[in-house]
Homo-oligomer: A and B are copies of this chain.
Amino acid sequence: MADRYLSFTGTAPGRFLTRRLGLPQPAALHRWSAGRPLLEGGLLHLTAGRPGLDGLAGVLARTMAHAQTADGLLVDSAPPADGSSGSGGDRPAAVVLDATGVADVDALAEVHAALHPVLRSVADSGRVVVLGAPLDPADHRQAAAQQALEGFVRSLGKEIGRGRTVTLLRLTDAGTAESTLRFFLSPRSAYVSGQVVEVTAPRPDDSPAGAPTDPDRPLTGRTALVTGAARGIGAAVAETLARDGARVVCLDVPAAGAGLDALAARLGGLALPLDITAADAGARMVAALPDGLDVLVHNAGITRDRRLVNMTAERWSSVLDVNLASVLRTTDALLDAGTLRPGGRIVATASIAGIAGNAGQTNYAASKAGIVGLVRALAPGALAEHGVTVNAVAPGFIETKMTAAVPLFIREAGRRMNSLAQGGLPVDVAETTAWLAHPGSGAVNGQVVRVCGQSLLGA
């Protein structure tokens, strides 16, 4: 399970040898830990195109205050004369480029002009967040320029190196994107890079559950249900939502036994041993949640790999049933019973295999693509009127017992074939889930967010 190559390249002889041989040099990623500042350096706020996004400077200033960084917000600051300057204060930990006003190809030159001189100075594990506008269907020049930002960001993510990430957020309003900006500027998004996220859903004026009172525990007073919680990614999700203040109902198959009980006890939550494919699974979830549910995390999943020519009907159906049909059935039951409260959050686990396909996984990829279809259909409708969002996370190569069982060569390829040259950790998926579950993330709806270090694999 341990990534020995990553450990080796973290040593002095490892760095020397891998550099001489031209081998991948994964950076040690800066992840969240209690007490450590969310930004270890200043934040550089740049603009390309005119006019910029109203209120962005205020949102960034609040983000900096929350991040408890020693350095300040640098607005439209001139680049350091010597880009390679090594002193702390000169190296921004993050760059936010407001490119929402880029409305034609000429204005794209300002994107180059803004970032080209400052990139070298961005700190290790730093963040580059480009803000774009939704494509205007009535203006093909604007649509071309804004879509160009996507090719730009995905390319920059592949070349920037040193654990730094690059993200494109498409938004229309800085205020509704605050929780999203905080996530992508923080160590919590360490393994999310090269992705495009739309933050454009209209948010109901008032979430009945109310705004979080403690910004460090935004889920206080809320209840979350996590399926497949006994281990791996599910356990990390349960822990992270509990850290953020939620009361967590930990669901897993009865065979998970004492491990599930211990986790729930440690988190001050509830253990719910239950086979989600059972006919009465939805009804039992409803019964276990008499006071309602705020955050529903569909994480449970299985694999039964075979090429289609060798795949039995049983292997096909078991994967489709656990990973997709039971998600549909239990979601419907929780919605029909009114258990999921207004302002609720549904987060389902998709997979890169569901986006790109994978040899030997027609069943698994079908089930995970089905999750994407579920999100796309369910997000914009009646639920949105009640402030409920429906999103998916799509993990790439994550270090778990499941991936530890993958043959060495394929495992090594999975680990290195991404822009960060390493596998992710379960906590990376959990942090992404926590951002989507945040009460302030109501403008993020219908998104499929890859947590993959910008894996090369895709569609």
Contacts and interface: CB of A to CB of B under 8 A. Distances in A.
Contact of A377 (B106, B140, B148, B354): B140
A154 B119 contact: no
Interface stretch (A26-34, A57-65, A181-189, A358-366): A358-366
Nearest to A351: B151
Interface in A200-229: none
A84 to B, nearest CB: 10
Given A119-B309, A370-B105, A370-B145, A151 B377 contact: no
A157 B459 CA distance: 12
A310 to B, nearest CB: 9
A142 to B, nearest CB: 8
A373 B133 CA distance: 12
Interface in A270-312: 307-309, 311
Contacts of A137: 376-377, 380-381
Contacts of A321: 105
A231 to B, nearest CB: 25
Contact of A359 (B158, B367, B370): B158
A406 interface: no
A305 to B, nearest CB: 10
Interface string A82-123: 010000000000000000000001101100110110011000
B377 A158 contact: no
A335 B186 CA distance: 47
A366 B151 contact: yes
B136 A377 contact: yes
Contacts of A354: 151
A316 interface: yes
A381 B157 CA distance: 33
Contacts of A320: 105, 108-109, 148
A419 to B, nearest CB: 8
A155 B325 contact: no
A362 B144 contact: no
Contact of A155 (B141, B143, B358): B358
Interface in A339-358: 353-358
Contacts of A146: 373
A105 B374 contact: no
Contacts of A365: 151-152, 154-155
Interface residues of A, number: 81
A256 interface: no
Interface string A133-167: 00111111111111111111111111100000000
B308 A366 contact: no
A376 B137 CA distance: 8
A377 B134 CA distance: 11
A356 to B, nearest CB: 6
Contacts of A155: 308, 353, 357-362, 364-366
B148 A308 contact: no
Q: Which of A112, A317, A456 has the most CB of B within 10 A?
A: A112
A110 to B, nearest CB: 10
Q: Which of A108, A155, A309, A363 has the most CB of B within 10 A?
A: A155
A370 to B, nearest CB: 4
B112 A156 contact: no
Contact of A148 (B135, B140, B145, B366): B366
Given A354-B151, A377-B143, A362 B308 contact: no
A328 interface: yes
Nearest to A324: B105
A113 B308 CA distance: 10
Interface in A36-95: 83
A364 B156 CA distance: 12
A378 interface: yes
B151 A368 contact: yes
A159 B377 contact: no
B376 A309 contact: no
Given A147-B372, A356-B154, A109 B317 contact: yes
14 contacts: A108-B320, A109-B317, A112-B308, A112-B313, A120-B309, A144-B370, A147-B370, A147-B374, A148-B366, A151-B372, A154-B355, A155-B357, A155-B362, A458-B459
Given A155-B361, A158-B359, A457-B457, 5 more contacts: A137-B377, A148-B369, A151-B364, A155-B364, A156-B357
